[in-house]
Structure 1
Amino acid sequence: MSDTAAETHMTTYAPGGRRRHRKTKQGGTGVRRAVVLAMAVPVASAALAGTSAFAAGNDPAAAAGHSAPDHAEGTPATGTDTNTRTGTGDQQMAANLDARVLDQRLGSDVSGVVLDADSDSTLWDHHASTALMPASNAKLATATAALTVLGPQHRFTTKVVYGDGTLKLVGGGDRTLSGDDLAELARTAVAGLKKAGLSSVKVAVDDSLFPEPTLAAGWNDGYYPDTVAPVRALVVDGHGVQDTSVDAGQAFAKLVAAQGVTVDGDVTRATARRTDVPVARHTSGPLADVVEKMLKTSDNNIAETLLRMTALGVGRPATFEGGTEVVRHVLSRHYGVSLENFEIHDGSGLSRADRIPAATLAQLLELLTEDRYAHTLGSILEGLPVAGEAGSTLGPEWGRFDDPHSQCAVGKVQAKTGTLTGAIALSGLTRTESGEWRVFSFVENGATAAPSDIKDAMDGLAATVNGCWA
């Protein structure tokens, strides 16, 4: 965007309401905010060097040389509050949303908000400060924290070490490790064994990077292992099994044996020691790619793994509690996102105890429209499913944007989906015909219509925001 005279707005954000965190505005048509806060290095760069940045009230963002935008929380709005804007298009959109949000398919417990990211105004608000179950929209918070703490180029490492007659496969939190990657690790390890004159070996797995899996608040063991697997630091091909680490170790042992080295006994657990000799390693693709995959397919397992790796990135325990503490800290202290009525217990949004207002989800997405955050958070925008995009959660195989009212928005809306029993959400971005960003979030809880009908109604709301369903 062109650089013209700046006008700094000192207003504060009211959840569900009128203004958001302080932004430096630019004059001129279509001009975005000035770059005020550079994000050249991950938040954790200083924290990793010593004690946790959370100790003694320290701020990891400040430790890395960043300052958070000023933030003060306002009084929550309790009803529909549509700000007056010049331009009949926005007024018509707001009027249409006022009518369409009352669609019986959405039920009575529904909230929503539409922001004009370019003018920093709220165009439409329907109980936007009400905290509802966000379902997988919670992954937006997880992704934001992971990219900020670890950095978009961060890679996860899986290692093989040898000691006392045992090859140990050491998990490093890589949820994208494939069978081909494992085969390459085995080939390299076997080559080293043969060079050393060894023809037999034991195989063990080390997944001690994460503690023993537990259930998050709001989870039940019925989630395991299909909806989400117990969270461990080692997995291959994303297998949904009770013990992903031993499963990966067994696959590794077969690959080793297939190359002529005898594997003695069953795969066990053993912690790698400093005296063990490194024999092979594999590094994942960059975190940016992992985040894109997580969002496109709404992968619960990736989300929960990233939550733990984010916690470790600033020296916190690799647990649900440690991870969500970091998420809250990054959102509030680094980005000035409102945490009023915000409650999360996991990284995936599977917890039925999670609560996030539509206003907060929209504020998170609004960050993606700011140039100053493009380097760090750009993969979130890239990862948001596009309406009608096959292979994503907004693809035709899921029956999305195929209603007569929403078909016009195919290819024009990017949004994160969210679906739990009793909770459906859709939060994303779209551009007007003149190229202006519109950020929206819609969340419903407790609607009794068929999920496909609820989603059709929500897709229609998104098409309304785009303006194609006028």
Structure 2
Amino acid sequence: MSTAARRALVLAATAPVAGAMLAGPSFAADKTAAAATVGSPDAAGTLSDADRAMAAKLGERVNNPSLTNDGSSVSGVVLDSASDEVIWGHNASTALMPASNAKLATATAALDEMGPEHRFTTKVVYSNGTLTLVGGGDRTLSSDELGEMARTAVDGLKAAGVTNVKVRIDDSLFPEPTLAEGWRTDYYDDQVAPVRALSVDGKLSADTALDAGKVFATKLADRGVTVDGEVTRGTAGVGDVPVAQKVSPTVREMVRTMLKTSNNAMAETLLRMTAIEAGQPATFEGGTAAVRQVLGERYGIPLDNVVLHDGSGLSRATRIPAATIAAILDNATEPRNQYTLGPILEGLPVAGEAGSTLGPEYARFDDPNSKCAVNKVRAKTGTLTGAIALSGVTQGKDGRWKVFSFVENNSTAENSEITDAMDGLAATVNGCWA
């Protein structure tokens, strides 16, 4: 089987298969037809009739007044996934605020640097009458899991005749939190929390580590151990005795969740864990340096005009052209990258998928022009004040897989009008809005 055919089947294999919402005509449509039509558009490298028609429609629709008056503040590109041929482009190399489309870069680096099956460990250690809860970068840690760790710790304490302890937290895996370049102070605690190595229940607060320590202390008390004083912050010693631990879901699962729900806190935590794995400081600067190294040096993705300041895309100083975002996605469709980067395709929200950022609760793909693309488009959203993005994959009218990226900045229209226009562009790529 040719490389192009294998790539088409990789894309087909990542299609949603479960749930009534995704039943019927699906993103994967016809695997056999997709595999049969792969290859370059033709020997001369010219576009198919379907692609020419699609490109013409995009050329008209990118000038939608809801996006911009003259199209100058939109960066867009559509690629043929099998051949990598550019089907359509509009200011494709113009660097704009990508909003949460930056999470695609973070996901690529995290998966490549740590591996899809890597897990993080939260520990409890004991020394001299003190239990220390040690953060390991797990943003999925829950109150129930802290309760299980408390139960294990209490069993050991009681066996040793210990009934009174002090509790402290150790979140020293990451340095003291700071704002990223381009972050607004009002992002706390609405969009993201100060980035710490310990948290509980995914909550956003000024001190997620202290919150986790308090929950842990309560769980200990519930099991009959007296906690002396308030929860404090400290650093576990090398000689402290391990008494309990919790292992996180895999990086694969975290990336899926992070992309599906556009979880900012998880993106920033993954950025720091990636930095540590790459031998960089666990900071915004260390993390973005690791991302650039993975994208540029390992995958050859062009980074001209790319400026990164965080892992979530909240930074208003970050700039990424649509051409680079599309290259990141196209890289994930390569058969040789399926094991490592496949979770990116799996984590992309599906048009109309409840619980994702393309779900009906966000009024996406629900207008007359784009609703035909429900279940047929898989894409990462991005939303900041003055920036809307949508980048993903879909099977075109000719049965071939397309990679697209659209980034808009500074439209004065209502967000709902902008997202409707963006969804319409994706439906145009799919071909259902002819």
Instruction: Give TM-score scaled by structure 2 length.
Output: 0.90
Specify the alignment match of 1:88 in structure 2. 49
Counterpart-to-counterpart distance in 2, 1:84 and 1:113? 17
Determine which of 41, 51, 64 is the counterpart of 1:103.
Answer: 64
Check if 1:304 corresponds to 2:265: no
Change (3 A) 1:5 1:142: closer
1:88: Cα distance to partner? 1.2
Counterpart-to-counterpart distance in 1, 2:326 and 2:46? 19
Contact conserved, 1:211 with 1:319, CA < 8 A, in 2? yes
Check if 1:392 corresponds to 2:356: yes
Q: Quote the sequence identity (%).
A: 65
Counterpart-to-counterpart distance in 2, 1:85 and 1:134? 30
Specify the alignment match of 2:425 in structure 1. 461
Amino acid at match of 1:225: D
Tell me the secondary structure at the aligned position of residue 182 of structure 1.
Answer: helix
Counterpart-to-counterpart distance in 2, 1:443 and 1:202? 51
Change (3 A) 1:253 1:5: closer
Alignment of 1:2-17 (within 5 A): 2=2
Tell me the secondary structure at the aligned position of residue 257 of structure 2.
Answer: helix
Specify the alignment match of 2:340 in structure 1. 376
Counterpart-to-counterpart distance in 1, 2:278 and 2:84? 32
Counterpart-to-counterpart distance in 2, 1:351 and 1:178? 28
Alignment of 1:403-442 (within 5 A): 403-442=367-406
Amino acid at match of 1:96: K
Specify the alignment match of 1:317 in structure 2. 281
Change (3 A) 1:378 1:3: closer
Moved over 4 A (4+): 1-6, 28-33
1:29: Cα distance to partner? 4.4
| Larger displacement relative to structure 2 (119-128 or 433-442) | 433-442
Contact conserved, 1:158 with 1:171, CA < 8 A, in 2? yes
Change (3 A) 1:407 1:184: same
Counterpart-to-counterpart distance in 2, 1:364 and 1:311? 19
Change (3 A) 1:200 1:451: same
Higher RCO, Cα 8 Å, sep 6+: 2
Counterpart-to-counterpart distance in 2, 1:314 and 1:326? 6
Tell me the secondary structure at the aligned position of residue 418 of structure 1.
Answer: strand
Determine which of 144, 152, 156 is the counterpart of 1:180.
Answer: 144
Contact conserved, 1:204 with 1:268, CA < 8 A, in 2? yes
Specify the alignment match of 1:343 in structure 2. 307
Change (3 A) 1:421 1:279: same
Contact conserved, 1:137 with 1:349, CA < 8 A, in 2? yes
Amino acid at match of 1:198: V
1:361: Cα distance to partner? 0.2
CA deviations 1:226-247 (Å, max 9, x no partner) are: 1100000000101111000000
Change (3 A) 1:247 1:5: closer
Counterpart-to-counterpart distance in 2, 1:248 and 1:300? 19
- Alignment RMSD: 1.7
Alignment of 1:208-287 (within 5 A): 208-287=172-251
Tell me the secondary structure at the aligned position of residue 227 of structure 1.
Answer: coil
Tell me the secondary structure at the aligned position of residue 376 of structure 1.
Answer: helix
Check if 1:293 corresponds to 2:276: no
Determine which of 342, 350, 359 is the counterpart of 2:323.
Answer: 359
Amino acid at match of 1:241: S
Instruction: Give TM-score scaled by structure 1 length.
Output: 0.83
Tell me the secondary structure at the aligned position of residue 441 of structure 1.
Answer: strand
Q: Which runs of 5+ in 2 are unaligned?
A: 7-34
Contact conserved, 1:84 with 1:123, CA < 8 A, in 2? no
Specify the alignment match of 1:124 in structure 2. 88
Determine which of 54, 59, 76 is the counterpart of 1:112.
Answer: 76
Alignment of 1:150-165 (within 5 A): 150-165=114-129
Contact conserved, 2:350 with 2:376, CA < 8 A, in 1? yes
Counterpart-to-counterpart distance in 2, 1:361 and 1:458? 16
Check if 1:166 corresponds to 2:130: yes
1:362: Cα distance to partner? 0.3
Alignment of 1:37-76 (within 5 A): none
Amino acid at match of 1:233: A
Specify the alignment match of 1:45 in structure 2. none
CA deviations 1:25-76 (Å, max 9, x no partner) are: xxx944579xxxxxxxxxxxxxxxxxxxxxxxxxxxxxxxxxxxxxxxxxxx
Contact conserved, 1:159 with 1:282, CA < 8 A, in 2? yes
Check if 1:447 corresponds to 2:408: no
Counterpart-to-counterpart distance in 2, 1:344 and 1:326? 11
Amino acid at match of 1:359: A
Counterpart-to-counterpart distance in 2, 1:183 and 1:300? 26
Amino acid at match of 2:376: K
Contact conserved, 2:378 with 2:393, CA < 8 A, in 1? yes
Counterpart-to-counterpart distance in 1, 2:213 and 2:55? 56
Counterpart-to-counterpart distance in 2, 1:340 and 1:190? 55
Counterpart-to-counterpart distance in 2, 1:401 and 1:465? 14
Counterpart-to-counterpart distance in 2, 1:176 and 1:141? 21
Counterpart-to-counterpart distance in 2, 1:384 and 1:367? 14
Contact conserved, 2:255 with 2:347, CA < 8 A, in 1? yes
Contact conserved, 1:156 with 1:173, CA < 8 A, in 2? yes
Greater share of helix = 2
Contact conserved, 2:260 with 2:349, CA < 8 A, in 1? yes
Counterpart-to-counterpart distance in 2, 1:378 and 1:419? 24
Amino acid at match of 2:321: P
1:432: Cα distance to partner? 2.3
Counterpart-to-counterpart distance in 2, 1:349 and 1:261? 43
Counterpart-to-counterpart distance in 1, 2:37 and 2:201? 44
CA deviations 1:303-340 (Å, max 9, x no partner) are: 00000000000211000000000000100000000000
Counterpart-to-counterpart distance in 2, 1:378 and 1:294? 14
Amino acid at match of 1:413: V
